[in-house]
Structure 1
Amino acid sequence: MPSERELQISPVVQESLVHNTRTLYNLQSLTASLFGVSAGILGLESYAGFLFYLVFSLLAATLVYALRVAPTSLAAGKPLLDTSRYFRGAYDVWAGGLMNGFAGFVLTWTLFYGLVRA
C-alpha cells in the first residue's frame, strides 16, 4: 500500500484504474476468443484444450505485464511485481483473464472444432 507521501507525489486516479481494468478485460476477452479459435482449428479435445487455454492466457498476461507494467515500475523505482499503480491488484493482471475470457474460449473452441471436424 502506498504511503501518503507517495500518493501526494504521484496520485492514483480512480478513473484511470477503471479505464486500465476495462482495457485489460477487453484484451483478455479478445485473446480468449482467439485462443478458442486456435484450439478448435487444431482439433484439441478435453484436457489438451484447457491446458492450451491456461498456458496461452498466462503467456498473454506475461506479455501485458512485461510490455506495460514492468518498464514503468522499474523506472519509478518500485518493486518489480507491483501492479497497484495501474490496476486494483495483481489478480487483475495475472488471473483475472482466466475467468473473464473462459466462456468466450469455450464458445469459440466448440464452434470452430465443430466447423473443422464436420
Structure 2
Amino acid sequence: MRGGVVALAMCVAAPMGGCADPAQVRTEQRADDQQRCSDYGYAPGTDAFADCMMHRSDRREAREQRDNDRLERLRQQALDRSGDERFPLCSAANMDAHLDTVGNFWYAEGCRAR
C-alpha cells in the first residue's frame, strides 16, 4: 500500500516539478518584459525600451543569484547541523525541502542533513 501512495504522490508532483523547457521560459520572460516595458510607455526600438529590457533582465538575474545564494546557505547550514539531534532530520516531508542530488540528502530551513 505504501508503495502505491508514493507512486501516486510522484505522479501528481511530476508535472509541477519545474521541468519547463529553458528556451520556452526565456521566450515567455522576454515577451513579459516587452509587454511591461510597453506598458511603462517605452516604444520598441528606442534606447529607453532597450534600457528597460536590460534593467528587467538584470533584476531577474540578481533575484536568481540571491535565491541560489540562499539555497546554498540552507544546504551548508543543514550539513553543519548533521548529527545535532536538537534539529529534526530534513526530509521530503519538509514543505520547502530541496534535494542535494550529489550528496544525496534533503535540506531546508531549521533541520539537519544527516
Settle same-fold status: TM greater than 0.5: no
TM-score range, shorter chain: 0.3 to 0.5
Structure of higher CA gyration radius: 2
Structure number with the bigger relative contact order (C-alpha 8 A, sep ≥ 6) is 1
**Structure with the bigger percentage of helix:** 1
